[in-house]
Chains A and B, each alone.
Chain A
Amino acid sequence: MSQTTVSTWEEFMEGVWRQNPVFVMVLGMCPVLAVTVSGINALSMGVATAFVLVCSCGLISLLRKMIPKEVRIATYIVIIATFVTVVDYVIQAVSLALYDALGAFIQLIVVNCIILGRAEAHASKTPPLPAMTNALGMGIGFTIGLLALGCVREILGAGTLFGVSLFGTGFQPWVVMVLPPGGFFVLGAWLLVFAAWERRKQRKFAAQGGGVQHV
């Protein structure tokens, strides 16, 4: 029983931390760089992607035994596109301003490699519960990645966080941060932080006599 609990937790944490899609696998960079001009955009995009991930992985896992391998890619794309369409309608129903802000990137979730990658590498081989748990972890990990960029870019580039002014009227925004180059600067900085963290962890592990740790 406890073994199952641990494995479900590990399944979940794989995407959140160990194999984080943004900072470790560096996947789905198109929305990561393009929509993270504000915290709310990043959060909405993350939640939308997580919803598509969980639903499509759940359905693919449920139907995995009856999907012939010859038509699996076509099937996965149809299923993913279905849930993207659902998200598209839901966002329009919730807020048109948000829908305009995210623009074509909602529809582009269809071609997000994290989702097709999860479907092919995980959901097609595992039962629905672990597949959805893993997908949820990946979705949350992706949302954390987007938020890490979105919050920093909004604070530096607009002086606000989730629309709330932080520095008053005297603040001169660092406009480049909300422009496309800002996405690369902030992503680069975050990758540097994660790489430094990883190196420190490895050194510590080696000092304890564990040799080289493979992650």
Chain B
Amino acid sequence: MYPQFVIEAVYFLVVSIVVVFLVVFYVLTRKGRHVGGPERAVHEEPGGMGKGEKRWLYFLFAVAVVGNLLFLSPALPSIRYTLYEREAVMTVVIEVRDYRFYLPEKPIRIPVNVPVEFVVVSDDLVYGFGVFRKDGTMVFQMQVVPKPYLNRIIWVFDQPGLYDIRSTEYSGPKHPWMFVTDAIEVVGEGE
């Protein structure tokens, strides 16, 4: 399963809980019995925060810490190749100018399960560089900031096959046509 689908599933689970909570809250607050008006509403501990509010803050803080650690851990390939496995065995340089990708060869042949560094250079405008599977799902992407900047990303393809390249950033009305079909061919071991 692609990482973005896992993230989406977790997101939908959390959002469902939140929405159910709000509906239950709406029903309960309509039917609840009177508990004391403004005094109840402004109840505070001497330090400023009520007990429930403190617990809620601790919970949010814990979620924030766990979330950050999880997204900085090598669990997701996008950060694994940036932070933890930074050695590429192959470099592919792609140039972009006047709304066109200039590839070193077509298709670019890349071995499966090998760290490859893509270096994308723009001569004029801001573009995007995204690699897509044939069914339209995204493998990865990055922005392409024009010269003097070099835009680099390391990736390991774990599935052989053909991949498309598309600009993922708007750069003018010709943007939708910045699409190279079958731009990359990932070949299996021994092929």
Q: Do A and B come from one complex?
A: no
Chain A interfacial positions (CB closer than 8 Å to B):
none
